[in-house]
Chain A
Amino acid sequence: MKQKLIFAGAIILLLIIGEVASLPRAIPAGSSVLSAFAALFNSYDVLFHSFYSITTVVSNLIISNIILSFLMPSFIGSRLQKGELRILPAGIISIGIFFAGLYILFVFPLQHLALSVMLFPVSLVLCYNNMVPDLNGLRGNTADFYSTLTSEGSSVITTLAGSLMRRKIFTNIHDVLNSLWMWLLLFEFLSDYGKGLGYLIKIGYEYWSLPVMSAALLYTIVFIWLANLFMDGLLYAVKLRRLKS
């Protein structure tokens, strides 16, 4: 919270400096950013773009977690029996997906589908990587105890992995939310689909207007922050319900 307050203070300070110093090429003036806000809300359906982006992010996260938790435990369990799981090189994979995504956006007529196709593997990799340390913790002592406890033997690790991943779906979504937002904004910015928060930022870029770009960025940051707060609230409600039961 302290960091967020410092960040908000820095932004306000910057806008005041922009107003006083009058350097429109370098720092946008506060008043022009406010007018850009009004222009964005009047001319573009900002709420629709926000809803579009958040739906894309959340649906991708939910699908990735369902696939990981319900369809992949046996694969992950068999990998765990052979050795430690490795964190996938997210950087290299993301660059690969980025170029593949550019190509898809170039040739694919259905831009929305292309966006999801691009975002889904990123979401899957981020969710998987976030789970790896916990999954590796099932090896060794835990596997030794539970494999002697049940009749399943060493394959009990598959049952444990499935249980762990299902139980941590909300935590996992919460942990990777910010990273996935960044990827979505980038993809929306690059696509010609004309929807989403990334598109609002692109408008500022296309008009070569620093105030519009700043207004869109500020709105995006606040929106993502509110979305994360909502997710935190949801997570807390789930935990509270569990404790009460």
Chain B
Amino acid sequence: MNISLRTLSFSYQNSIGISRRVISGVTQQMSWAGKTEIAGLLLPFGGGKSSLMKIIAGLIAPDEGTCTISGDDGKPVKAVYIPPVPCSLSWISYNEQIQLLLPGLGNQKCVNETAELCGIDGYENHLPAGQSTAFRLRVQIALAILSGAGVILLDDPFTNLMPEIKDHLFRDLREIISKSSSSLFFATSGLGDAAQLTDTLYIYNSLDGSSPVVLDTSLWTRDFMRVEQKVLLNSLPSNIRY
């Protein structure tokens, strides 16, 4: 899987009309084996993480530059954006959402298998309560896979989850990418989540055109990081939080 950013720039106006440039001349090629690896991006809060993810997803257009996403064969792939707050519809179930939004799918076996893979089997007709964060997130991932997403862009959606639920979900995500045709790209401001979930991590201080620190985090775990914390934090940009 490849995400290619070329001289990307983006600015937005805040609520009082002041323009703020959050991405400036970023050029970067991010490649990873989509079936076995998860790539990630680590940026401080307010560093333009969501803006970059939305540009990659095609939701907003950059002021300058281009962004392309392609599979291992070089062909363009579909990207589905999962925002920081779980937002799968609360008034209709997983099955009803498929009927409403992906009517051409037709293959019930595939729908059931995806539900099982994402850990929502048995709850296909369940209506999530407003606060059921992990369940709604799983529904979103299942829908993204069924929609034929080549890459699922996770914009830090795990922040409000309890650690044990998060660990469980991270383990399931590994299985999901190995058994589905979708790969994952994760953007976060938390080093702990990034280290635990990703295999390749691109660490930026800011998206000002400077090159990122690229780390192989495939062997990083929370325990490993606890031991190596001081060494790690000394080697990373100063405003990254653990």
- Chain A contact residues, CB within 8 Å of chain B: 140-142, 144-150, 156, 159-160, 163-164, 167-168, 245
Give the residues in chain B near A245, CB-CB below 8 Å: 125
Q: Using Cβ atoms and an 8 Å threshold, which residues of chain B touch A156?
A: 101
Q: Which B98-156 residues sit within 8 Å CB-CB of chain A?
A: 100-102, 125, 140, 143-144, 147, 149
Q: When A and B form their complex, which 6 residue pairs have the shortest distance between CB atoms, in order from nearest? A: A141-B83, A142-B87, A141-B87, A148-B81, A167-B91, A148-B80
A163 proximity list for chain B (CB < 8 A): 89, 91-92, 100
Please give the residue numbers on chain B whose beta carbons come within 8 Å of chain A beta carbons, in ascending order: 54, 57-59, 78-85, 87-89, 91-92, 100-102, 125, 140, 143-144, 147, 149
Chain B residues within an 8 Å CB radius of A145: 80-83, 87-88, 140
Q: Is the CB of A144 within 8 A of B81?
A: yes
Query: Interface of chain A, helix or strand or loop or mixed?
Result: helix
With a cutoff of 8 Å between Cβ atoms, the chain B residues found around residue A164 in the complex are 89, 91
> Which residue of A140, A141, A144, A150 contacts B101 across the interface (Cβ within 8 Å)?
A150
CB neighbours of B100 from chain A (8 A)? 159, 163
Q: When the two chains form their complex, are residues B143 and A148 in contact, meaning their CB atoms are under 8 A apart?
A: no
Query: Are A141 and B54 in contact, CB atoms less than 8 angstroms apart?
Result: no
Looking at the assembled complex, report how far the CB atom of B82 sits from the nearest CB atom of chain A, in whole angstroms. Answer: 6
Which of the residues A141, A146, A149, A160 comes within 8 Å of B85, measured between beta carbons?
Answer: A141
Most B CB atoms within 10 A — which of A140, A145, A164, A245?
A145
Q: Is the CB–CB distance between B91 and A144 below 8 Å? A: no
Query: Which residues of the other chain, A, contact B92 by a CB distance below 8 angstroms?
Result: 163, 167
A145 to B147, CA, bound (A): 12
Q: Are A141 and B147 in contact (CB under 8 A)?
A: no
* With contact pairs A156-B101, A159-B101, A167-B92 given, residues A148 and B85 touching in the complex (Cβ less than 8 Å): no
Q: How far is the CB of B98 from chain A (nearest CB, A)?
A: 11
Complex CA–CA separation, A184 to B78 (angstroms): 53
Q: Are B147 and A147 in contact (CB under 8 A)?
A: no
Q: In whole Å, how far is A83's beta carbon from the nearest beta carbon of chain B?
A: 13
Name the residue on B nearest A243 (C-beta): B127
Verify B87–A149 contact, CB threshold 8 A: no
Q: Are B89 and A160 in contact (CB under 8 A)?
A: yes
Cβ distance B129 to chain A, nearest Cβ, rounded Å: 13
A149 touches B125 (CB 8 A): no
The complex places the Cα of A164 from the Cα of B87 at a distance, in Å, of 14
Task: Write out the residue numbers on chain A whose beta carbons fall within 8 Å of the beta carbon of B149.
Answer: 149
Interfacial chain B residues near A148, Cβ < 8 Å = 57-59, 78-81
Q: Please give, as numbers and ranges, the residues of chain A lying within 8 Å of B147 by CB-CB distance.
A: 149-150
Give Cα A167 to B127, complex, Å: 12
Give the residue name and chain of the B residue nearest to A239 (CB): B127
Complex Cα gap A160–B80 (Å): 17
B101, A147: Cβ atoms closer than 8 Å:
no
Contact pick for B54, options A142, A144, A160, CB 8 Å: A144
Give the interface centre of A146, A159, A164 by most chain B CB atoms within 10 Å.
A146
How far does the Cβ of B138 sit from chain A's closest Cβ, in whole Å?
14
